[in-house]
Structure 1
């Protein structure tokens, strides 16, 4: 089989449960669904650090945060660690990236191994964004999602048809602040969006570390919801009604942003069809992490609950993947680089630091007996000034989620420096799929708690990630 073209569409904060192929109750995404119908849907794909910069670095390098050094949005990706586009470029692929980069804009941090590129500085803007390219900085009129799509298609128009390409389409959407395209005004009007079953979760029984996190729907600001809270909803006694009011407006704009991303996928698939490229192109749609859509009364990500942890991953490659394939095995964002390189006929030694494992055999329907049965997760930031999310690590198996809030007292820039005790949470994902009941202190769960604590320690040793051992623990010197 000849080497395929590779098209990776990466959105930002796009929750799997706002994709209809994943069973969304709140919207429809026909073009992303088409990828799943004509290819494969990964049912258990997870990120290893649920925040933008770290996940993007892991996708590019196939490494965990402690290896690529992009542990936090406050740190910068270590470009001494190779990336899969660099390997493909060296192997003769035409390479390009357009859109959100978020790995730094210093000379040392710009995209490497790219024949064509333009990126947003930092998060980028939805309307008339500034973009940085080889010729410098410019303001580009229009809507960010449409601009990224247009520039990506322009690269396809200019490519050498005799050589394979690797195109990275990196959308800003649907990242906060949610500014939809005007063409979707009137879609998902407030009051019509179903609320999640767990929106009223009171967080009883959860750790203090989680209860103090400032990601509740009521923490959404005027910038987020676009209009002042009605006076009659002010006051603690109206918290539930006010949270629902904010949920409707937040989700209205979030879902409208998602719709433009789905349009982009449709445009790209149409281009492949029109230029006879569909059969020979591996298309992957994913997001850098999941997102809380009012689940547990939260928005944002960071925490090791399934809504934040789960990534949508749908893959189409008609030459190798059967239509309607469903993959139940657990995979992570660290596995994506190895998967694309194997599809291109390139072995893992070409990217020496990578820690991921290709899931291409799973996509082909092959039986793989020794796949990992647990996901290692670590969120490095601690007590950031806006969200106050605690530093933690843990493991997710098919049956349980074990989280150790080690609460790194050294914090990150802007940390309040609050001293918080270590805490453990444990969830039975079979008996309690919505992760509502923390059973860490239940006598009946003592055995599984001990087993998962040992598994966490074993994975940290295997991956080379040193656990936190209190103030003064050696840690990464994050470049600034």
Structure 2
């Protein structure tokens, strides 16, 4: 890895610090300094894949440190479960239909206010390192080093203050190294800092680092209970669930997703083109890890006409696909967790931990085989919910648990609140500072959601909806007109649409009223839906 010598200095400093108990310069008079902000975001990191949430899927000891030493949010949600719009919301504190970034196609207007700009104007030094997935030169940052678009896992290009530069190595490690480098040598240590340290992983197509290519090879993961949902054609759900294109066994690709250069039928998958980015040493390690596993699968399951396979054999193949997917996904998270540990160690070694707000989150949730799916987009729970862990020793008690409906809409007002900066009236989120400190238990009891990117990849229908702590109401529109409602208390996996159930008639009326109220509160309307649909369809023509 790059930056090894500097890391060694960090660790030596930590030893000296613990041995002597001496205060460093940055520790002095912290009560008089605004807090630093370290905002860590990964891409598509499901809450199910953070061990602090108790799902026993993998171990994330460093991310868990933030929860153990601070707060864990169990019902944090997003306003729009797709990458670029989610990031626009967190920057601006405004819903997608207000900030204009409703999908991955529409442009983002960097000229509008965002919380880093406001922190900059009030004495903070700001940096953005990693993934942002918003076109244009980032505004509000003294320093930016961002991936163009989705970026690459191996030997990625970065736009360093707008200038394209190739970096040798693994993207997660490089992002961590550069974040540490900026903390140590790139900032003015007399100023409070706000660092957005944003990882590409675990975004599709889940290429693990060299040291983790064989992690979990000795483990067989059991798919979620709803993994074979498609066998019943998603009974109990509507058209949207039945017509999506995000099934692990059906829509994931032998090459791009399952890492085969030649599929089980002897056809080239095109994955070899992706491997051209690797240097010879990286490629040799990759092929040594994946070629034997791929050949073993082909030998075990053979070739032939899938329509003639028995139901048992089809399930075995689906099980293999799930394991290839989930292992690669979790392998990339291992590197993310390593990086979080390095940055937390740096804060502690340099006397910064006490006065630094550390946030770990993702731009949305993700399906890890639930309903047989990968990806996100739906308002169903796995993609609607996102992990959120916050540590700030001066105000947040270790072991705090928050079950309120916090959204990514709330990040901007919260950071400004901590920094003592007035929140602009046009920001629609709320500061959760008093909530997480325990000073106040008052909070919203319903949240609003929108999704626009259809027709497009994965073919998830356009929809909007409202969620309370127990119920969820969704309207799927454009080429269909269907309503779905779920009782999360009796049906946490959202398998049974109760919208037309007479026993839920009063609940349905109540949820429609809540939906109408939130659309009015935030300024959404059918006219907005049509405006952004027309703009999207026009953009796709180009």
After TM superposition, the score normalised by the length of structure 1 is 0.92
Following superposition, the deviation at residue 239 of structure 1 comes to 3.8
**Equivalent in 347, 363, 367 of residue 292 of structure 1:** 367
3-state DSSP class of the match of 1:132?
strand
Distance 1:20 1:93 in 2: 33
Distance 1:188 1:205, change over 3 A: same
- Cα-to-partner distance string for 1:279-311 (whole Å, 9 max, x where unaligned): 010000000000000011111000111110111
- CA apart distance, 1:200: 1.9
Q: Could you report, residue by residue, the CA deviation over 1:411-455 in whole angstroms, capped at 9, with x for unpaired residues?
A: xxxxxxxxx321111111001111111111211112212221221
Q: How far off its partner does 1:398 sit?
A: 0.7
Is 1:354 matched with 2:385? no
* Distance in 2 of aligned mates of 1:39 and 1:10: 17
Q: 1:173 aligns with which of 185, 196, 201?
A: 201
Following the alignment from structure 1 to structure 2, what is the Cα–Cα distance between the partners of residues 182 and 21? Answer: 26
Name the SS for the 2:510 alignment partner.
Answer: helix
Counterparts of 1:268 and 1:87, CA distance in 2: 25
1:160 is aligned, of 176, 188, 195, to 188
Query: Could you tell me how far 1:190 is from its partner in structure 2?
Result: 7.0
Aligned length: 459
Give the distance between the partners of 1:268 and 1:180, measured in 2 at CA: 20
1:311 to 374, 381, 386: 386
- In the aligned structure 2, how far is the partner of 1:301 from the partner of 1:461? 26
1:83 matched to 2:114 = yes
For structure 1, which runs of at least 5 residues remain unmatched after alignment? 409-419
Q: Secondary structure at the match of 1:3?
A: coil
Cross-structure match for 1:399: 470
Q: What is the rounded CA distance, in whole Å, between the counterparts of 1:307 and 1:8 in structure 2?
A: 22
In 2, Cα distance between equivalents of 1:264 and 1:225 = 26
String of CA shifts for 1:248-293, please: whole Å, max 9, x gaps. 0001100000110001100000000110100010000000000000
Change (3 A) 1:196 1:367: same
Please give the secondary structure, in 1, of the residue aligned with 2:257. helix
**Structure-2 residue corresponding to 1:16:** 47
In 2 relative to 1, CA 17–397 (structure 1 residues): closer, same or farther, beyond 3 Å?
same
* Larger gyration radius, structure 1 or structure 2: 2
Cα displacement (A) at 1:474: 7.5
Secondary structure of the corresponding residue to residue 325 of structure 2: helix
Per the TM alignment, residue 79 of structure 1 is displaced from its structure 2 partner at its CA by 2.0
Aligned equivalents of 1:469, 1:67: Cα separation in 2:
9
Shift of 1:346: 1.3
1:364-417 per-position Cα deviation (integer Å, ceiling 9, x unaligned): 012233x11111000011121x311100000111111111001x2xxxxxxxxx
Partner residue of 1:412? none
Structure number with higher helix proportion: 2
* Structure 2: distance between partners of 1:142 and 1:224: 21
Query: 2:253 pairs with 221, 235, 241, which one?
Result: 221
CA distance in 1, matches of 2:80, 2:465: 11
| Secondary structure, aligned partner of 1:383 | coil
What TM-score do you get using the length of structure 2 for normalisation? 0.82
Q: Distance in 1 between matches of 2:217 and 2:465?
A: 38
Matched, 1:450 2:521: no
Q: CA deviation at 1:473?
A: 6.1
Provide, for residues 14-34 of structure 1, a one-character-per-residue CA deviation record: whole Å limited to 9, x for no partner.
Answer: 000100001122100000000
Q: Is the 8 A contact 1:404 1:422 kept in 2?
A: yes
Contact 1:289 1:310 survives alignment (8 Å): yes
1:373 counterpart = 2:373: no
SS of equivalent residue, structure 1 residue 331: coil
Structure 2 stretches of 5 or more lacking a match?
Answer: 1-30, 265-297
In the TM superposition, what are the counterparts of 1:191-270 in structure 2 within 5 Å? 192-201=220-229, 202=232, 203-218=234-249, 219-222=251-254, 223-227=256-260, 228-229=263-264, 230=298, 231-232=301-302, 235-236=306-307, 237=311, 238-270=313-345
Query: In structure 1, what is the equivalent of residue 404 of structure 2?
Result: 329
The equivalent residue for 1:415 is none
1:232 Cα deviation after fit: 4.6
**Equivalent residue, structure 2, for 1:416:** none
Distance 2:481 2:526 in 1: 13
Displacement of 1:475:
5.9
